Structure 1
Amino acid sequence: MTTASWPATLPVAQVRIARPTDKLAEVVAFYRDLLGLEELYRFEGHAGYDGVMLGLPGAGYHLEFTSFVDGSPGEAPTEDNLLVLYFAGEAAMYPVVQRLGEAGLAPVPPENPYWTANGGLTFEDPDGWRVVLMPKPVF
């Protein structure tokens, strides 16, 4: 079921998924330059933090990656912590897969076989967090 707005019991205006990294430049390059997310905002030196927000403009949700002056371990806790991006067909997904391949990145086997069985390709970002590219939406 698709809804055009958030439920009245949770009137959220925006969603941010944030995580730390010690490889801010490399992580931003992966998500911005290879996956193609747009850089929405960047800040430096905010209480010892630098950060970049990436996402789809006007969509109300985005990713934030931060780095702290004293260290920001960002390694993935498991191979099943995923960001899943659904495309409107294989033709729409192909340019992203091609950019990743040209950058020397190859798909990795997912922990959950569902993704591969349904045409998905799983890639690791510089911290080992996984992104699954799916050729079509589920619902």
Structure 2
Amino acid sequence: MPHEWPECLPVGAVRFARPTARFEDCLVFYRDVLQLPVIASWRGHTGYDGAVFGLPGTPVHLELTQHGETPEIPAPSTENQLVLYLAGHEAVAAVVERLAGLGHRPAPLDNPYWAERGAVAYADPDGWMVVFAPWIFGQDPVPTVA
């Protein structure tokens, strides 16, 4: 199956945005713990606080916003995931070791697909999962079931 982008949709960048009820905690988690680069941020812009993280550069972004009083956010499931594909098991192990040193522990996922293939997940302060997978999707073969 070809993986070509449609000519009729000339997208130059993609941003995934979601609200947070714990903006400061999420900012620390993504910026300081995961060390994602902040490529834009604002406070009090028409009542919004926000931060945009590059994934891993500027063409793909994750945006977190909080508006006004702490909003009620629907509870996420373990299927609310940001999957970061890393270059092999050693890269995942290095992330796990670094996060453990900062006091973070892996979180279980309902879907066994990830663990069976060596991926490890962590919950952000809102309970959204960040999955570290040990292969580059679309480039490396998906690991076989362990």
Range of TM-score over shorter length = 0.7 to 0.9
Q: Aligned ranges for residues 59-74 of structure 1 at < 5 Å?
A: 59-74=58-73
Moved more, 97-106 or 120-129: 97-106
Is residue 107 of structure 2 the alignment partner of residue 108 of structure 1?
yes
Q: Could you list the structure 1 runs, at least 4 aligned residues long, displaced by more than 3 angstroms after superposition.
A: 56-59, 73-76
Q: Unmatched 5+ residue regions in structure 1? A: none
Correspondence for 2:141: none
AA aligned to 2:8 is T
Matched residues, number: 138
Matches of 2:74 and 2:26 in 1, distance apart?
Answer: 11
Correspondence for 2:84: 85
SS at match of 2:64: strand
Distance change >3 Å, CA 138–CA 15, structure 1 → 2: closer
- 1:53-103 CA-partner distances (Å, limit 9, x unpaired): 111464411101111122233454312111111001122233322222122
CA RMSD of aligned residues (A): 2.0
Is residue 94 of structure 2 the alignment partner of residue 95 of structure 1?
yes
AA aligned to 1:41 is A
Normalised by the length of structure 2, the TM-score is 0.83
Is residue 50 of structure 2 the alignment partner of residue 28 of structure 1?
no
Moved more, 64-73 or 128-137: 64-73
Matches of 2:82 and 2:2 in 1, distance apart?
Answer: 20
